[in-house]
């Protein structure tokens, strides 16, 4: 059975456009957000605003969690799962591997099918329903999940049993966070050495070692637009920590890069850039 009523728990940068796109696809959407005003902004798009996670999830065919981190998901999951009764739980927030196992157990205890399904893509792709879904979970959950994923993304990859989605997400974020750190430090180096950073970006543009991402984030840095937030730096720091933990505790590696990247993001947060875009990691490499 495909999902007809979907609860969206968390209407931040990612959750709000997800709720809007589901409503646009004629799914009945009930949204809840800790700070209610953010969810209320969705009412004009046909989204019903719920007063609690339980109220949003009651009788829903699918429950989406799109929250900051594992602690936030833990804080709402129990109540939502108890109310949902038989729904599928699409856990799309980026959380750690141990947290994912813990959440799967919560779902089991509540007799809810757990779909570990972190998302690839940021604010723009979320608004345009062009996310990539890294889905993992039981085969029976695929059909009800897919209608939801089709409304919010352009591609769904089913990767295996729950946990596989988060493992792939952490690999991808490890790459992305290292790329952003390298970009920030290279721009700072160009400035420090007295060569034009914009020319560095121009040389990279279209070159095999360049990337479209470096152009987007590079311009954000050079044009001083770091307050145009697609992915908050405080959450990128959380992800850098999750990648370093996964490399050490789960993969058994002796990683050098992941802890260094984590330290850069932590330094940028400590310097007061946590609410800015993740590209503000650049400010960890500049003189303060
Ligand atoms: N932005 C991106 O580019 C992107 C891309 C892929 C994945 N992600 C991941 O998606 C998740 C959401 O990211 P976002 O960018 O949408 O972040 P965001 O705008 O900061 O939204 C975070 C959401 O979590 C809620 N929240 C935080 N702590 C909570 C708690 N203790 N209890 C209940 N609710 C809590 C916030 O509620 P309030 O409004 O009340 O603060 C808000 O709804 C994160 O795991 C992030 O890593 C983000």
Q: pLDDT tens digit string along 50-100?
A: 999 999 999 999 999 999 999 999 999 999 999 998 899 999 999 999 999
Is the CB–ligand 1 distance for residue 113 below 6 Å?
A: no
* Burial category of 162 from C-beta neighbours within 10 Å (exposed 0-12, middle 13-18, buried 19 and up): buried
Q: What is the pLDDT along the chain (288 residues), one digit of tens a residue?
A: 456 999 999 999 999 999 999 999 999 999 999 999 999 999 999 999 999 999 999 999 999 999 999 999 999 999 999 999 889 999 999 999 999 999 999 999 999 999 999 999 999 999 999 999 999 999 999 999 999 999 999 999 999 999 999 999 999 999 999 999 999 999 999 999 999 999 999 999 999 999 999 999 999 999 999 999 999 999 999 999 999 999 999 999 999 999 999 999 999 999 999 999 999 999 999 998
Q: Where are the beta strands (DSSP E) in the chain?
A: 5-9, 28-32, 48-49, 62-65, 88-91, 113-116, 119-120, 131-135, 153-158
Report the nearest atom of ligand 1 relative to the CA of 92: 10
Probe residue for ligand 1, chosen from 21, 33, 39, 68 as the CB with the greatest number of ligand atoms within 8 Å: 68
Write down the residue that tokens 């456009």 correspond to.
17
pTM (predicted TM-score): 0.97
pLDDT for the residue 2: 57
Is the CB–ligand 1 distance for residue 230 below 6 Å?
A: yes
* 73 Cα–ligand 1 center, Å: 10
* Token pair belonging to 253: 């590696």
* 12 Cα–ligand 1 center, Å: 5
* 42 Cα–ligand 1 center, Å: 16
CB burial of 59-88 (b: ≥16 within 10 Å; e: otherwise) equals ebbbbbbbbbbbebbeebbebbbebbeebb
Is the CB–ligand 1 distance for residue 117 below 6 Å?
A: no
Q: How far is Cα 249 from Cα 266, in angstroms, rounded to an integer?
A: 20
Is the CB–ligand 1 distance for residue 25 below 6 Å?
A: no
Q: Whose CA is nearest to atom 44 of ligand 1?
A: 68
pLDDT for the residue 288: 82
Report the nearest atom of ligand 1 relative to the CA of 71: 31
Is the CB–ligand 1 distance for residue 201 below 6 Å?
A: no
* 196 Cα–ligand 1 center, Å: 36
Q: Whose CA is nearest to atom 13 of ligand 1?
A: 68
Q: How far is Cα 52 from Cα 32, in angstroms, rounded to an integer?
A: 6
Q: How far is CA 180 from CA 151, 221, 266, in A?
A: 29, 11, 14
DSSP string, 170-191: HHHHHHHHHHHHHHHHHHHHHH
pLDDT for the residue 16: 98
Instruction: List CB contacts of 155: < 8 A, sequence separation 6 or more.
Output: 132, 133
């Amino acid at each position: 059975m495909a999902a007809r009523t979907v609860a969206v728990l968390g209407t931040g940068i990612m959750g709000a456009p997800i709720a809007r796109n589901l409503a646009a696809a004629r799914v009945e959407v009930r949204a809840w957000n800790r700070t209610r005003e953010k969810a209320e902004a969705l009412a004009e798009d046909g989204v019903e605003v719920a007063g609690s996670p339980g109220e949003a999830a009651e009788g829903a065919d699918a429950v989406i969690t799109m929250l900051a981190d594992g602690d936030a998901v833990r804080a709402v999951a129990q109540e939502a799962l108890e109310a949902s009764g038989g729904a599928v739980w699409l856990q799309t927030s980026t959380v750690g591997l141990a947290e994912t196992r813990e959440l799967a157990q919560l779902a089991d205890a509540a007799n809810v099918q757990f779909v570990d399904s972190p998302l690839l893509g940021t604010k723009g792709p979320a608004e345009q329903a062009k996310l990539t879904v890294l889905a993992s979970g039981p085969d029976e959950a695929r059909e009800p999940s897919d209608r939801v994923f089709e409304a919010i993304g352009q591609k769904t990859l089913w990767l295996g049993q729950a946990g596989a989605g988060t493992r792939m997400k952490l690999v991808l974020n490890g790459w992305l966070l290292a790329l952003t750190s390298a970009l920030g430090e290279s721009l700072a180096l160009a400035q420090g050495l007295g060569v034009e950073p914009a020319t560095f970006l121009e040389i990279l543009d279209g070159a095999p070692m360049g990337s479209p991402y470096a152009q987007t984030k590079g311009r954000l840095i050079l044009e001083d637009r770091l307050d145009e937030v697609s992915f908050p730096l405080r959450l990128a720091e959380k992800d850098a920590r999750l990648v370093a933990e996964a490399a050490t505790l789960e993969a058994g590696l002796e990683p050098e890069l992941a802890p260094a990247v984590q330290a850069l993001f932590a330094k940028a947060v400590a310097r007061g850039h946590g609410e800015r875009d993740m590209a503000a990691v650049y400010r960890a490499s500049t003189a303060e």
